[in-house]
Amino acid sequence: MILRCRFTKLGDIAYISHLDLLKIFIRALRRSNIEVYYSEGFHPHPKISSSSALSLGIQSYAEFMDIDIKNEDDRASFVQRMNDSLPEGIDIVECKVIEKSEPLTKLMSHSLYEFDFDVETTGISEIIKDVMSKEEFIVKKKNKKKQIKDVDIRERIYSLEFDADKNKIRAILMNSPEGALKPTDMLKAINERYDENISPYRIVKIASMMVKEDSINII
């Protein structure tokens, strides 16, 4: 039985790596006495898979983990037992049974982020309007081979707006194997282009979604 779990990653736990996050879930499963299926081969590993890695320091209300459990009777108490074993900041808030499907990284093409400010901000709204009016926004980026390439980040920004009443930026950014844009990289590019110092005290991932043409489906 495959369980798709949505969980939080809040507070100091936002600074642990993606690999350490997987290890935390494996340890929690063991402490909870929840058996999972293992892969075959010379190096079997628990059949769990997660959504795309989150940048260090970015908090989230919408991380996902697929876990293939052996005993269907564990389903009813799964969330409570896991939450009792997971560290502060990680809480499973929803869990549902799914059929075998595509990897989570392919099901979630975009992420919704909020950038929160604790000081008065000026000029952000005009800068954001200018960014969204552009057909392209080229930045220099180093690839895995350490080669410098031109990357158009504008095509990776689905939406970008400033909420003056709540003093925050909301952005839907591409987050898929075909291309991803980290919220910190977007801010860095904007600050360099406009000679600004836009610096939120917190960046939070609010939702994961699949964007197809003009439709948005929240996962």
Decide: 219 and 210 in contact? Cβ < 8 Å: yes
Tokens found for residue 100: 């075998």
Question: Model-level pTM?
Answer: 0.91
Second-level CATH architecture of 108-218: 2-Layer Sandwich (3.30)
Mean pLDDT of 202-210: 94
pLDDT of residue 203: 96
> What does the alpha-carbon distance between residue 63 and residue 4 come to, in Å, rounded to a whole number?
10
168, 195, 198, 196: which is closest to 184 by C-alpha?
198
189: three-class secondary structure by DSSP? helix
Q: How confident is the model at residue 213 (pLDDT cuts 50, 70, 90)?
A: low
- The domain defined by 2-103 carries CATH number 3.30.70.580: yes
Fold matches, 2-103 and 108-218: yes
Give the domain ranges of the chain.
2-103, 108-218
Residues in the chain: 219
The answer, yes or no, to whether residue 145 has pLDDT greater than 80, is: no
Task: Report the DSSP beta bridge partners of residue 211.
Answer: 216
**Per-residue pLDDT at 142 exceeds 80:** no
Query: What are the tens digits of pLDDT across the range 16-61?
Result: 999 999 999 999 999 999 999 998 878 888 999 998 889 999 999 9
- Comparing C-alpha atoms, which of 192, 189, 185, 125 is closest to residue 160? 125
Encoding tokens for residue 39? 């892969």
